[in-house]
Amino acid sequence: MEPQKESRTPRDTVARPPRVSITPKQAVEERREGSASPERPASDLEADCASADGLWELPVELAPRRPECGRCRRPQKVCLCPFLPLHPLHIATHLYIIQHPAEENKVLRTVPLLEACLPQDKCKVKIGRRFSEEKDTELSAICRKSGTLILYPGAEAADLEEFISDSPVYPSTIIIIDGTWSQAKDIFYKNSLFRLPKQVQLKTNISSQYVIRMQPTNRCLSTLECAAVALSILEKNNSIQETLLRPLQALCSFQLQHGAQVRLSKEHLLKNGLYPKPMPKNKRKLRKMELLMNSIKI
Ligand SMILES: [Zn+2]
């Protein structure tokens, strides 16, 4: 199954010059990733403007992105391929990532790194918020298989390690939802398909190393980290975790060297009186904050 990606760069005729200026957000990314182009003399720029005359009506690619590395899908100047394994890892488990559409366009994504480390036929990404038996026949067949697990924490979830030691059927597939915690919750609870596989969770004491993106609690892991831990358990091979986390560590250390801040978890900020925003007025949100402060699972 191919990832069902929505077209991001439709061709269109627009009345603006092809040299599209970057948005403030892109400018920040450029600075952070150290890829801003050097200053050019004014005469060069004038020549560009003159040569742009008459090109206004030509079809252009909207939202041009910087050239990406074909393997790690990072901008070429900050390619993380030296930190990826030379060849995709040999694994027996099939990994399905259900990705919220908002996650696809984030700059600091971890799923492309995961895809680059695993064989294509073992790591599938499906993008969307709603899935049905009728439209998503392959996914629904997978959800119905007895060897399929879904990684989503909660009272109903079994510990993955304990589950595989007792299960008569050894799991062959694991589904992981990629998105913020509220997006993942929405996808899990609003799609009855995801209630079909056995629900499992990770009982791990490791803290997230993805320190440049804020997580709700100190124990929340990024999608890449969840996949790394889950695959190490399922494949009974700890070196998988190490290999999969290497590009993430490189990404974080590069971003930190170029001005990114360590994003402490919301839990840490609340507990230490460092939360930078006023407390919410909405009672439900306030209750969630109180639960976080008291380290109760939400
Ligand atoms: Zn690369």
Same domain, 236 and 286: no
Q: What is the pTM of this model?
A: 0.66
As averages over each run of 10 residues, the pLDDT of the chain (298 residues) reads 39 35 40 39 42 51 72 87 94 96 78 93 96 94 96 94 91 94 92 96 73 59 91 95 91 74 60 66 74 53
What is the C-alpha separation between 240 and 229, in angstroms, rounded?
Answer: 8
What is the C-alpha separation between 289 and 59, in angstroms, rounded?
Answer: 49
Tokens of 79: 């390619």
Cα(74) to centroid(ligand 1), Å: 6
Residue 144 placed within a domain: yes
Same domain, 281 and 255: no
Same domain, 200 and 284: no
Same domain, 100 and 242: yes
The total number of structural domains in the chain stands at 2
Same domain, 231 and 278: no
Cβ atoms of 100 and 130 closer than 8 Å:
no
Same domain, 248 and 272: no
Whole-number pLDDT of residue 4: 42
Cα(143) to centroid(ligand 1), Å: 33
Tokens of 78: 């900050």
Instruction: Look at residue 61 and give its three-state secondary structure.
Output: strand
H-helix or E-strand spanning residue 176: strand 173-178
Cα(73) to centroid(ligand 1), Å: 6
Surrounding residues of ion ligand 1, Cβ less than 5 A = 69, 71-72, 79, 81
Residue 28 placed within a domain: no
Whole-number pLDDT of residue 167: 87
Same domain, 98 and 223: yes
What is the C-alpha separation between 95 and 114, in angstroms, rounded?
Answer: 10
Residue 69 placed within a domain: no
Contacts of 175 (CB under 8 A, 6+ apart): 96, 97, 98, 142, 143, 148, 149, 150, 151, 194, 197
What is the C-alpha separation between 10 and 27, in angstroms, rounded?
Answer: 23
Tell me the one-letter amino acid at 161. Answer: E
Same domain, 215 and 278: no
Tell me the one-letter amino acid at 194. Answer: F
Same domain, 159 and 91: yes
Residue 22 placed within a domain: no
Cα(78) to centroid(ligand 1), Å: 8
Residue 244 placed within a domain: yes
Same domain, 120 and 246: yes
Residue 71 placed within a domain: no
Residue 89 placed within a domain: yes
Task: Show the domain range for 189.
Answer: 76-263
Residue 131 placed within a domain: yes
What is the C-alpha separation between 45 and 78, in angstroms, rounded?
Answer: 26
Cα(69) to centroid(ligand 1), Å: 5
Whole-number pLDDT of residue 81: 93
Whole-number pLDDT of residue 289: 65
Same domain, 144 and 248: yes
What is the C-alpha separation between 62 and 64, in angstroms, rounded?
Answer: 6
Among residues 22, 35, 29, 27, which one has the least CA distance to residue 78?
35
Same domain, 165 and 210: yes
Whole-number pLDDT of residue 12: 34
Q: Tell me phi and psi for residue 75, to 5 degrees.
A: -55, 140
Cβ atoms of 89 and 241 closer than 8 Å:
no
Contacts of 35 (CB under 8 A, 6+ apart): 66, 75, 77, 78
